Structure 1
Amino acid sequence: MSTSCFMDDVMGIQGEGAYAQVIKCVNVNTSEVVAIKIHKGQDEESFQHELEIIQAVRALDPDKKNIVRFIEVFRSDCLACMAFEMLDRSLLDLMDERNGLPLSLNEIRPITHQILVALEALNSIGIMHRDLKPNNIMLVNHREEPFRIKVIDFGMALPIWRREDTEIIQNLSYRAPEVNLGLPLSEAVDMWSVGCIMAHLYFGYSLFPYKCPYNWMETVLCLLGWPSNEMLLAGKYSRKFFIFDPGIGWRLRTPGEYRKENHVKRVFSGVSCYNLECEVVNGRVKQNDLEYKDRMVFLDLLKSCLQLEAQNRIIPSDALTHHYVTMVHMVDSLETSSYGDNALDLMVVSPLDNLDETTGPLNSETSNKECDSLGDFSKHFVTKSSPLETWRESSRSQTSETNPDEESDCGWGYSKFSHANKPKHDCSHKSSTATAPCNDGVTEQCSLSKTKEMDSPRNTGGTGSIDKATADVGQTDGAAASVPSNFSNKSAINPMDKDDVKMSPEEAPQKNIFQKARNIFRRVWEWVDTGR
């Protein structure tokens, strides 16, 4: 690392967090505006970890895989610095500018698709991000390319095989259940975060509370139901939230019990009694039949991301073939519907015909260069088998055992959150707010439903949030092609079968945008049917 010319012309501070500061600079030699991340303190280990992750990610094309471009690393006044391409603003900034006004389904689609492309690429080289949230998703240039995004901040990223189950990661609003319960972690934590981001963009606020883990757990139980006995028995942190009562099984602790067990001064409690399907289906006025059909397909993908058990969560390659992303369910209405026309226009920044491109290194020359620069480090990114089945098998032998924790429920009957009496979803009660008395007689209430997200610390611009570390990727040249091996809906009916002429992209008419779209859908369904 050497001193760079970037620091000669500082244009302002873009954001600041606990671990680093991002400033906007100009390269005096090239006049390129860049974002410089300056690591604070002497935490050399964290800096080196982030640098290693970035070097591994450089094997990917930053533009095609929607990952921020890394430029160089250098030191200035003994401070470790990283230079990245300058981006526009984060999704969180965009939502703040809109005063919480939700995005349309057509606007959410290209964002979701681009995040999935980035995750599939990262998984292909054995990396999980572990810190996806709106302020780590950056708009590239919203005025010129609406809703084109890039993923930033690899400070929390890890090789997939390093699946710590004792580390609390992720912002609470986007944190997967296995993190709070203390279960083995996998790349599935990122798909949970994708679901949370989709919900935030759809509703205009965070689906899950961001202040209190207890209130977060209440909301999860109300929205998605209860974790399995296997999860609760295997979780290292399950007893922070739950008590096993021999009479009724697992039940949620009262706020007072939670406070006493976890030594916290204040506990937020109370959720609106609604479920996910009710909120998505009834949360907006129906525009037309096509929009409503699109809404139901969106709900299906959202529910696939927000599965409580990690092994049941959809994976990026399958999500990329989901009908919400491919728009297959709208193919017959594209030529007659303004809604379909708008959907096609907004997907320009995220073309579906790139699905067959490789997620691996761009070419052999680039790959060899990266291997030379990484040395033996690249071997650490080999994906190993998931430990989820291990804990499932070990927990099965414990399901018949009685939990030694037999604390009383303090006599006030918090049985509505017992495993034996799960809360029933009722759309008619979705506006009610629960109030929970505590052990000491104090009543605490928190109406956290439909509250806006207040991530802290958060970035005010530049390349995005820097509350841990903002890592990015360098650009390489070349291209290669392969098709993702995992596809869902293989048994679905091909809507293009009615066409008796098989058309390739080269033969397709280039003058009609709708015909281009139909050719894209044809290619997607050919991949699905053949299982390529």
Structure 2
Amino acid sequence: MLSSETEKYDFIESLGRGMFAEVARFQRQSDRKMVAVKRMPRVHTRLCLHEARVLAALTDENAYDHHIVRFYEAFGDEFHVYLVEEVMGQNLHDFQKANSLIKFKIRDIRTVVLQVATALAKLKDMGVVHADIKQENIVLVNQRREPFRVKLIDFGSAITTHDLASMWTPYIQPRFVRAPEVLLGYRCTEKIDVWSLACVMGEMALGRTLFPCCELELAHSIFGSRGFPSATMLEASIKTKLFFDLVDNGRGAHELRVKPYQGRELFTGTQSLRRHVPANLELLQALEDLAKGYEEQELAESADRRCLVDLLNRMLVLEPEQRISPNQALRHPFLTLQHLQKRGNYRSYYNFALQGDRPRGPEEEEAFPETSLRSLFTRLFTRRRKKQPAAAQGSEDGLEGSASCAVPGDQPAQNTGSEEQAGEDQCQSPTAGSSVRAEESTAHEEPPKKKGFMRWMRTVASCFSGCRGKKAVATEDSNSSL
């Protein structure tokens, strides 16, 4: 049990251990609320108090409403210092490993980036830089009840924009998400967090880190893939000589070239080295030309991927003055879905993407994802063929063929991978039983007659609406009317 001046906490379980701290789940005795307690040895008191001051300032500004962890209190004893925060779930890195995910879905990437960008915009308004944006510090609140609702944690490296600008040579950010201005010792702003968020975003989309950890190799990867720094940036940077050599270009002049690394030759801004970053974000852009007749979801997803890459390129600009800000990122079409709203034939994909645009609250936990009516139509007939004798399937197959011709589009729709996953999620939800029963009741209806086919389709649509929470209208009267 732990005791502060105002509260007492009962130990429940250990949640994990980091480089400087250990985190455990405790129950607060005053209201039986679960909290997360971060314990650090006394030797790290200064680091703990710094984080506590930052979290207290953020709490005073209601930053927890902007996807930043909620802070309760800090206290200590003879051996340790404790920070009490709200308890949450897995971080993105652990979630990815636990679910054997190589890449995240586009709509899940959008949901996460939208929330973290909102947090960064709030930090910018308060003059705070997180300086440690990575997957391990982006935590899922409650994946079961609120899918991909996340919050930003670990403000031990946070610094004010004023202090960051006055630092001679800041040593901040993990190397694989380190911004080029930090690498070169150029003047730093809150946009170093934008670069780190872009690295997280690219890692979620590509399934691997964009850049390496060795500083010289990092310089080769960044400058070989994102372009060569401007002369102004190189002249104003403190660490230019650590990464660049002044060499004779053979024309009676000198120029800066990146120092060689493990056999890699010197190169200038006119050359490109892309050995570490296998795709250099081009994997997302290398979309095949889609022929006529492809499903609109595939066309819309291609446009969505191009928009995602456009946002990445704006966040991964070398010059911090030209890099997009958190507020500008929030207005980008990839996060606002404007590129999908303007096209009427993208409506179904837009509705599907909209489900991940904002994290769902507990009251929306039992909501069912949007599903194609033609996909439901196909599943109903598949279910009926399995239940009816083989002799009856011959006539039913012919009936199904005429029915599919009546559906606009000439070809029966097929479920996309995301729709199939949505169907699996429905089967696992608490109210999935009602959905299955509604489909079964529709499957036992009389086969649609040729003249009454459209009325039968309207009945199916009504039953499908009932699966999403509306009142079902598939009654015996409607069956008899067919």
Q: TM-score, normalised by structure 1?
A: 0.60
The question of 1:185 aligning with 2:188 is answered yes
The higher relative CO (CA closer than 8 Å, separation ≥ 6) is in 1
Partner of 1:155: 156
Could you tell me which of 249, 256, 273 is aligned with 2:255? 249
Partner of 2:89: 88
CA distance in 2, matches of 1:284, 1:152: 39
Partner of 1:447: none
Q: Aligned AA for 2:39? A: I
Greater percentage in helix: 2
Q: Aligned AA for 1:298? A: L
> Following TM superposition, by how much is the alpha carbon of 1:335 offset from its aligned partner in structure 2, in angstroms?
7.7
> Following TM superposition, by how much is the alpha carbon of 1:252 offset from its aligned partner in structure 2, in angstroms?
1.6
Larger Rg: 2
Partner of 1:205: 208
Q: Give 3-state SS (helix, strand or coil) of 1:30's partner.
A: coil
Partner of 2:177: 174
The question of 1:345 aligning with 2:348 is answered no
CA distance in 1, matches of 2:346, 2:73: 49
CA distance in 1, matches of 2:277, 2:109: 26
> Following TM superposition, by how much is the alpha carbon of 1:280 offset from its aligned partner in structure 2, in angstroms?
1.9
> Following TM superposition, by how much is the alpha carbon of 1:67 offset from its aligned partner in structure 2, in angstroms?
0.6
CA distance in 2, matches of 1:215, 1:284: 32
Could you tell me which of 230, 234, 237 is aligned with 2:236? 234
Partner of 2:321: 311
1:138 and 1:348, CA in 2 relative to 1: closer, same or farther beyond 3 A? same
1:76 and 1:27, CA in 2 relative to 1: closer, same or farther beyond 3 A? farther
Find runs of 4+ consecutive structure 1 residues off by over 4 angstroms: 4-8, 272-275, 283-287, 333-336
| Aligned 8 A contact 2:341 2:347 in 1 | no
Q: Aligned AA for 1:15? A: G
Alignment of 1:141-152 (within 5 A): 141-152=142-153
1:224 and 1:350, CA in 2 relative to 1: closer, same or farther beyond 3 A? farther
CA distance in 2, matches of 1:100, 1:225: 31
The question of 1:281 aligning with 2:288 is answered no
| Aligned 8 A contact 2:172 2:182 in 1 | yes
1:72 and 1:339, CA in 2 relative to 1: closer, same or farther beyond 3 A? same
| Aligned 8 A contact 2:137 2:152 in 1 | yes
Gaps of at least 5 residues in structure 2 are 265-272, 291-296, 362-467, 469-482
| Aligned 8 A contact 2:212 2:276 in 1 | no
CA distance in 2, matches of 1:189, 1:165: 16
Q: Aligned AA for 1:280? A: L
Alignment of 1:115-134 (within 5 A): 115-134=116-135
1:5 and 1:285, CA in 2 relative to 1: closer, same or farther beyond 3 A? farther
Partner of 1:35: 36
Instruction: Kindly tell me the number of residue pairs found equivalent between the two proteins.
Output: 341
Could you tell me which of 201, 213, 216 is aligned with 1:214? 216
1:336 and 1:178, CA in 2 relative to 1: closer, same or farther beyond 3 A? closer
CA distance in 2, matches of 1:283, 1:16: 42
> Following TM superposition, by how much is the alpha carbon of 1:231 offset from its aligned partner in structure 2, in angstroms?
2.0
Could you tell me which of 302, 322, 334 is aligned with 1:324? 334
1:316 and 1:27, CA in 2 relative to 1: closer, same or farther beyond 3 A? same
CA distance in 1, matches of 2:346, 2:182: 46
Partner of 1:374: none
CA distance in 1, matches of 2:304, 2:257: 37
Partner of 1:67: 68
Partner of 1:417: none
CA distance in 2, matches of 1:71, 1:251: 51
CA distance in 1, matches of 2:211, 2:287: 16
CA distance in 2, matches of 1:278, 1:87: 35
> Following TM superposition, by how much is the alpha carbon of 1:4 offset from its aligned partner in structure 2, in angstroms?
6.0
| Aligned 8 A contact 2:340 2:346 in 1 | no
CA distance in 2, matches of 1:63, 1:17: 23
| Aligned 8 A contact 1:334 1:340 in 2 | no
| Aligned 8 A contact 1:130 1:169 in 2 | yes
CA distance in 2, matches of 1:284, 1:83: 51
CA distance in 1, matches of 2:31, 2:288: 49
| Aligned 8 A contact 2:129 2:158 in 1 | yes
| Aligned 8 A contact 2:137 2:154 in 1 | yes
Identity of aligned residues (%): 29
1:100 and 1:324, CA in 2 relative to 1: closer, same or farther beyond 3 A? same
1:330 and 1:44, CA in 2 relative to 1: closer, same or farther beyond 3 A? same
Q: Aligned AA for 1:250? A: L
Gaps of at least 5 residues in structure 1 are 259-268, 352-512, 514-532
The question of 1:225 aligning with 2:231 is answered no
